[in-house]
């Protein structure tokens, strides 16, 4: 049920990004909500569920973007694996760490797509524009905390947990290592 809801949300984001966001003024840019959703999925959902969702959404994005099929599922899969691997050792669920995670993650994701496309069509020079990329990264960095908060609220709702407060930043527990 939860996976289905997040998949539906992913499709809605995809539709919004392909039909509405290009109308935004250039200085606002086009926030990649689907990417944020996938980072949230990698952080919060279980491995199997998250993997299926990541691949499905990557395939859906392949339909509406790009020339070579399979680039997005593969790039998302790599992103998912890296976040899962890192989150076992670092406290990535803390708000403080999520902003750099998203920003660096998007840069890595962009590099991955660029590399894959360059490998698939070596005769063409793949498009890479630093100003636009940096703008995207900044937008994602700004949007990620409220976005994750909304997703967390939704997840709690789906799991019948008491909803979160409106305060976006999570307070870290006093001593996370002292477990009785």
Partner 1 sequence: MRKRGKSARQARTLLLFGVVFVLVLIVIVSSLGRREFNLVHRLGLEVVGAVQAVGTGVGGYFAGIWTDYRELIGVRDENRRLREELRHYQAATTQYREAVATNVRLQKLLGLKESLPDPTITARVIGRDPSLWFKTLTIDRGSSDGVERGMPAVTVEGIVGQVINTSPNYAKILLANDPNSAVDVIIQKNRVQGIIKGDGNEFVLHYVLRNSDVEKGDHIITSGLGGVFPQGLPVGRVAEVVRSPRGMFQSIMVEPAADFSRLEHLIIIMKKSPLTE
Which residues contact partner 1 (rule: CB under 8 A)?
14-15, 17-19, 21-22, 30, 32, 34, 61, 63-67, 110, 113-114, 117, 121, 124-129, 132-133, 136
Q: How far is the CB of 71 from partner 1 (least distance, A)?
A: 9
Closest CA to 31 of 39, 40, 21, 23: 21
φ and ψ of 36, to 5 deg: -60, -40
Of the two residues 32 and 105, which places its CB atom closer to partner 1 in the complex?
A: 32
Q: Give the integer Cα–Cα distance in Å for 3 and 47.
A: 12
Of the two residues 64 and 169, which places its CB atom closer to partner 1 in the complex?
A: 64
Q: How far is the CB of 98 from partner 1 (least distance, A)?
A: 22
Of the two residues 63 and 90, which places its CB atom closer to partner 1 in the complex?
A: 63
CA distances from 118 to 1, 101, 109, 133, 158 (A): 38, 25, 14, 17, 41
Q: How far is the CB of 4 from partner 1 (least distance, A)?
A: 23
User: Which residues, in sequence order, are CB contacts of 146 under 8 Å at separation 6+?
Assistant: 168
**Residue 49: both structure tokens together:** 């569920």
Of the two residues 42 and 61, which places its CB atom closer to partner 1 in the complex?
A: 61
Q: How far is the CB of 126 from partner 1 (least distance, A)?
A: 6
């Amino acid at each position: 049920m939860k996976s289905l809801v997040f998949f539906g949300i992913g499709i809605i984001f995809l539709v919004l990004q392909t039909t509405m966001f290009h109308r935004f003024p250039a200085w606002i840019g086009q926030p990649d909500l689907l990417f944020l959703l996938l980072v949230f999925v990698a952080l919060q959902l279980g491995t199997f569920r998250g993997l299926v969702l990541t691949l499905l959404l990557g395939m859906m994005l392949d339909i509406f973007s790009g020339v070579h099929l399979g680039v997005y599922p593969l790039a998302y899969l790599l992103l998912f694996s890296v976040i899962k691997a890192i989150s076992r050792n670092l406290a990535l669920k803390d708000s403080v760490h999520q902003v750099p995670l998203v920003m660096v993650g998007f840069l890595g994701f962009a590099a991955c797509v660029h590399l894959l496309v360059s490998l698939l069509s070596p005769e063409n020079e793949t498009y890479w524009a630093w100003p636009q990329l940096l703008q995207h990264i900044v937008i994602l960095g700004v949007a990620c905390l409220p976005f994750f908060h909304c997703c967390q609220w939704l997840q709690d709702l789906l799991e019948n947990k008491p909803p979160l407060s409106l305060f976006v930043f999570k307070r870290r527990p006093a001593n996370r290592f002292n477990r009785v």
